[in-house]
Amino acid sequence: MSLENRAAIVTGGSSGIGRGICLELAREGARVVVADIQEEPKQGIYHEQDLVSSTVSEIKKIGADAFFVQLDVADEGAVASLITTTTERFGGLDILVNNAGIHIPGTTETMPSADWDRVVGINLRALFLTSKYAIPHLKRSRAGRIINIASIHAFGGGGGPAYASAKAGVVNMTRNVAIELGAASVTANAICPGYIETPIQDYLTTEQIEWCREKTPLPRLGRPRDIGRACVFFASDDAEWITGTSLTVDGGWTASVG
């Protein structure tokens, strides 16, 4: 398997895209730390309505090693502890996937500043924190990888003032980290999902979801596994000379200008 025995952390790994990433890394032999604010998976209104088992339990069914760490990624002390716990348990760290994110609806005029701070704190600042504490260990890995989950909203408006701004920041932070870590052969790349069938879409109406389906050229909406497989590629030796880039995984959404 392409990631045999490599140690990975996936933030926001209990549900949605993060769960899909954890499972696909595990299928390739990685040992996975599922880091999230809660262990039980979220159940959505439209998608993943019937999930019951934890990500760790599903990984163990695959036959891979995994454990759960509860934390708020906006808490610097908790992030530092996550990295320490991981490296003590697995003897090092090879792959950091910064996936945890939230969306709070609102406009520039109506969004409370506290909501802005919370969205940016989790969707952008937390990536700085996890990277900061993980980098010394990734430098010691023979295949150190940072994979940041951004969004197609990084390239345009939509999704609210805080969400779009934070995701744009993720793309540029990825480039900066790639430059910083190139000499250590640690790569940093971003994945920009389109519409993925997860509980984060609960704020939409059925009409809005249908519009998203119509905007997507391929004949289905995205699934967490689609992002998971992209993560497997970036984490693998096949991507060892790719860094500082952003891969759009959106079923063709951004291919259209209209």
Residues recognised as catalytic: 163
Residues 107 and 174: their CA atoms lie apart, in Å, by 26
Structure tokens at 33: 């730390």
Neighbouring residues of 188: CB distance < 8 A, sequence distance ≥ 6: 145, 146, 147, 148, 174, 175, 177, 178, 181, 243, 244
Going by their DSSP bridges, the two strands 95-98 and 7-11 should be labelled as: parallel
